[in-house]
A = this chain, B = another copy of it.
Amino acid sequence: MSKSRSSLPADTTPAGRLSEASLHLLLGYQLAQASIVTNAVFAEQVGAPFELRPVEYTVLALIHENPDVSATRLAKALAVTAPNIAAWIDRLEKRGLVQRIPHATDRRAQHLRTTREGAALARKATESVLAGEQDALGSLSQGERMILVELLHKVATCRGG
């Protein structure tokens, strides 16, 4: 069953049917338009039920996957400033989702780990967004989604890190 939406002219905005021919090839514009959809999915599947903001969720998930990571490395991975990553970690720590562990030899540094509850939440949240995205993006085949993810990763890799 194809969606009526698939009959949209190629060079018009998804909402409002505005011409976007000159913007069509702009990756930044298309990323922003696509993000409107994924942001809505995230808000519905994770933001509202688990009270996690997008960045907050990503911080939690990356700590979960990278036990004993430092705040500095997290900040670089997400391109957020040091004061802001500290604030996000604060929130997660106060909710009992992550722990700050003192570094054994370097007394300035610290390791970050998820608690048992944090790990469980990270798993549940990831599962929920994934399912939500697959549901919302039904018009894309599994293959198309794979290609899209790989190309996006290639774009992200152009970053100076």
Size category of the A interface is: 35 or more
Per assembly, the copies of the chain total: 2
Is A149 touching B16 in the complex (CB atoms < 8 A)?
A: no
Contacts of A155 in B (CB 8 A): 34, 37-38, 137, 140, 148
Residues of chain B contacted by A25 (CB below 8 angstroms): 130, 145, 149
Binding site for B on A (CB under 8 A): 5-6, 8, 10, 13-42, 54, 58, 61-62, 64-66, 69, 73-74, 76-79, 122, 126, 129-130, 133, 136-140, 144-145, 147-149, 151-161
Contact of A18 among B40, B66, B137, B151 (CB under 8 A): B66
A58 to B32, CA, bound (A): 10
Find the residue from A21, A140, A157 having the highest chain B CB count within 10 A: A157
**Shortest Cβ distance from residue A26 to the other chain B in the assembled complex, whole angstroms:** 6
Set B28, B133, B160: member contacting A35, Cβ < 8 A? B28
Candidates B5, B21, B26, B158; contact of A158 at CB < 8 Å = B5
Of B126, B153, B160, which is within 8 A of A22 by CB?
B126
Q: Which residues of B contact A34 (CB under 8 A)?
A: 27, 31, 152-153, 155-156
Q: Please, which residues of chain B bring their CB within 8 A of the CB of A35?
A: 28, 31-32, 35
